[in-house]
């Protein structure tokens, strides 16, 4: 492979705090050098970045890849296309597929499917319980050995306190996190929107926002009891964030992420019965949205994940209460997060940290940095270029974006995986 020199870029590496104009040299798929005024080695291919930002390839810690068992909605290959267009070079894949990722062979299969794309590393979550049914604990040790990055039942909350306690205790022995969908299942059952005035007007069955804080409060106590590590996915309410903030202050092994809809949209997005905005957890009141945005800044939220959940028209073209939850998110992850930079007070380097090294550290993988010797997984983007989201013309297969029609500032110009260009150019 010939050397590649990316010139005239704003090097942005949250892991080291680097933010300076310069060049980056790729050799043998790895970052060979970076800094101001690098010489051009003989025979090197040169790409002029035109002053755009060059950051590590994004690490998306919550993605449904469609495989196995949901290939008509998404495949690893089609997700890889959408990911590359979104500047994403690694995704953590949810295990509540059909079959669930509850056997070591399936962990290896998903990893291999990622390698086949050549553009996307797939980091499989292991199922916490067999079949993600919430009954018997899965073989966490064997799954971990096969490469599972953490354990979760995906979109299903672990409702049993006893099971959660055992899982936190047992996983501690392997140094593994439990990732929880934080929604008290008996309160959430049958609900379609956050309980409140809007749901009442629309006549939709509600889920109280407290369903989130109730389960998070319980699990924080179980983390304290067991010494285990719990991570809460797509946190969306002020009350829950308050509990997480206190747990972190206490020094417990408690972390969380959120997804762009929860800091960019509020419950009014479901007006006019827009089923693409039907998500799990449901979109919240604006005060909660503001609390999520503030928590990105103050560090209560550790990472931003796309929470990409591919759905097709048969899932979504239904009366609102019957429609499936979930939104496509790979292609819009960066752009919507950058809206917090442009429209609010989130520093650019913090935004990129939330999308790169922070999720990589949560997953325990060596990715998301521009370190010398690291694989050249790179994302080149123009933070100011404007584009508009159109459901129907998104890259990849899934088109169910809750951001349809949204104008975004910040566009990916190029993505490289191990030094090979997989998007743009």
Partner 1 sequence: MAPPLRHLLAIEGMYPPQIAALLDLAESFVLLNRTGKTPRDRLRGHTLINLFFEDSTRTRTSFELAGKRLGADVINMSVATSSVNKGETLLDTASTLNAMNCDLLVIRHGASGAPALLARKVDAAVINAGDGTHEHPTQALLDALTIRRRLGRLEGLTVAICGDVLHSRVARSNIHLLSAMGSRVRLVGPPTLVPPEAARLGADVFHDMAAGLAGVDVVMMLRLQQERMARSLVPSAREYFRFWGLDEAKLKYAAPHALVMHPGPMNRGVEIASSVADDPVRSVIREQVEMGVAVRMAVLDTLSQSGANG
Write out the catalytic residue numbers.
Answer: 307
Q: Which of 7, 8, 21, 169 binds partner 1 (CB under 8 A)?
A: 169
How far is residue 390 from each of residues 78, 309, 387, 407, measured CA to CA in Å?
17, 17, 10, 9
Burial category of 25 from C-beta neighbours within 10 Å (exposed 0-12, middle 13-18, buried 19 and up):
buried
Residue that is written with structure tokens 């005024």 in the block: 37
The nearer residue to partner 1, 140 or 222, going by C-beta atoms, is: 140
Choice between 162 and 201, CB closer to partner 1: 162
Q: Cβ of residue 137: shortest distance to partner 1, in angstroms? A: 4
Report if residue 172 touches partner 1, rule: CB under 8 A. yes
The nearer residue to partner 1, 127 or 398, going by C-beta atoms, is: 127
Which of these segments, 35-43, 56-64, 166-174, 191-199, binds partner 1 (CB under 8 A)?
A: 166-174
How far apart are CB 138 and partner 1 at their closest, in Å?
A: 6
Q: How far apart are CA 149 and CA 57, in angstroms?
A: 18
How far apart are CB 10 and partner 1 at their closest, in Å?
45
Query: In 3D, which of 123, 400, 415 has the Cα closest to residue 277?
Result: 400
Helix 161-172 to helix 210-226 angle (10° resolution) is 40
By CB under 8 A, residue 170 contacts partner 1: yes
- Residue whose CB is less far from partner 1, 107 or 379: 107
Q: Measured from the CB of residue 169, what is the shortest distance to partner 1 in angstroms?
A: 5
Give the range of 32-40, 167-175, 192-200, 339-347 binding partner 1 by CB under 8 A.
Answer: 167-175
Q: What are phi and psi of 409, to 5 degrees?
A: -105, 115
- Sequence-separated (6 or more) residues with CB below 8 Å from residue 153: 95, 96, 127, 128, 129, 132, 134, 181
Q: Give min distance, CB of 126 to partner 1, in A.
A: 11
Contact 337, 86 (CB under 8 A): no
- Which of 143, 214 has the CB closer to partner 1? 143
Nearer to partner 1, 130 or 385 (CB): 130
Question: Do residues 96 and 158 make contact, with C-beta atoms less than 8 angstroms apart?
Answer: no
Burial pattern 105-124, b for ≥16 Cβ within 10 A else e, equals: ebbebbbebbeebebbbbbb
DSSP 57: P
Q: Residue 167 CB, nearest distance to partner 1 (Å)?
A: 8
Q: Is 159 in the site for partner 1 (CB under 8 A)?
A: no
253 contacts partner 1 (rule: CB under 8 A): no
* Binding of residue 27 to partner 1 (CB under 8 A): no
- Dist. CA 323–CA 303, nearest whole Å: 28
Decide if 57 contacts 87 (C-beta within 8 A).
yes
Binding residues for partner 1 restricted to 98-157, rule: CB under 8 A:
135-142, 145
Q: How many residues bind partner 1 (CB under 8 A)?
A: 17
Nearer to partner 1, 138 or 204 (CB): 138
Q: Which of 44, 166, 246, 297 binds partner 1 (CB under 8 A)?
A: 166
Sole window of 1-9, 168-176, 326-334, 408-416 interacting with partner 1 (rule: CB under 8 A): 168-176
Q: Work out how close the CB of 141 gets to partner 1 at its nearest, in angstroms, rounded to a whole number.
A: 5
What interhelical angle do 238-249 and 286-298 show, nearest 10?
Answer: 30
Contact pick of 163, 202, 349, 365 for partner 1 (by CB under 8 A): 163
Nearest to 71 by CA among 94, 97, 91: 97
Among residues 190, 227, 319, 364, the one that binds partner 1 under rule CB under 8 A: 227
SS3 content of the chain, % helix, strand, coil (to 5): 35, 25, 40
Note the residues at the interface with partner 1 (CB under 8 A): 135-142, 145, 163, 166, 169-170, 172-173, 226-227
């Amino acid at each position: 492979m010939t050397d590649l020199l990316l010139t005239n870029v704003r090097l942005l590496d949250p892991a080291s705090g680097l933010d300076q104009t310069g060049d980056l040299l790729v050799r043998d798929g790895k970052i060979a050098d970076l800094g101001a005024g690098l010489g051009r080695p003989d025979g090197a291919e040169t790409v002029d970045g035109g002053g755009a930002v060059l950051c590590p390839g994004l690490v998306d810690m919550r993605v449904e890849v469609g495989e196995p068992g949901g290939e008509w909605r998404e495949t690893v290959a089609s997700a890889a296309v959408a990911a590359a267009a979104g500047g994403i070079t690694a995704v953590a894949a949810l295990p509540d597929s059909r079959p669930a990722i509850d056997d070591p062979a399936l962990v290896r299969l998903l990893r291999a499917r990622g390698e086949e794309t050549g553009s996307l590393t797939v980091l499989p979550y292991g199922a916490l319980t067999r079949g993600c049914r919430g009954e018997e604990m899965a073989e966490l040790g064997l799954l971990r050995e096969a490469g599972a990055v953490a354990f979760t039942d995906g979109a299903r909350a672990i409702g049993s306190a006893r099971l959660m306690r055992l899982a936190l205790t047992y996983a501690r022995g392997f140094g593994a996190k439990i990732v929880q969908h934080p929604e008290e299942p008996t309160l959430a059952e049958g609900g379609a929107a956050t309980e409140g005035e809007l749901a009442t007007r629309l006549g939709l069955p509600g889920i109280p926002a407290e369903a989130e804080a109730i389960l998070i409060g319980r699990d924080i106590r179980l983390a304290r009891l067991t010494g285990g590590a719990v991570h809460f996915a797509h946190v969306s309410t002020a009350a829950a964030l308050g509990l997480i903030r206190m747990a972190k202050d206490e020094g417990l092994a408690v972390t969380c992420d959120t997804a762009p809809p929860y800091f960019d949209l509020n419950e009014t997005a479901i007006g006019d019965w827009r089923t693409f905005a039907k998500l799990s957890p449901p979109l919240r009141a604006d005060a909660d949205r503001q609390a999520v945005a503030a928590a990105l800044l103050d560090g209560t939220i550790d990472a931003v994940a796309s929470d990409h959940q591919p759905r097709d028209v048969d899932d979504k073209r239904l009366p609102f209460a019957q429609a499936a939850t979930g939104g496509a998110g790979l292609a819009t992850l960066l752009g919507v997060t950058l809206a917090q930079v442009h429209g609010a007070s989130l520093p650019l380097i913090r935004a990129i940290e939330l999308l790169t090294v922070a999720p990589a550290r949560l997953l325990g993988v060596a990715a998301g940095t521009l370190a010398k010797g690291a694989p050249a997984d790179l994302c080149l983007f123009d933070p100011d270029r404007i584009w508009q989201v159109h459901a129907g013309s998104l890259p990849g297969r899934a088109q169910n974006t809750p951001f349809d029609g949204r104008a975004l500032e910040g566009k990916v110009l190029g993505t490289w995986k191990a030094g090979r260009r997989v998007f743009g150019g």
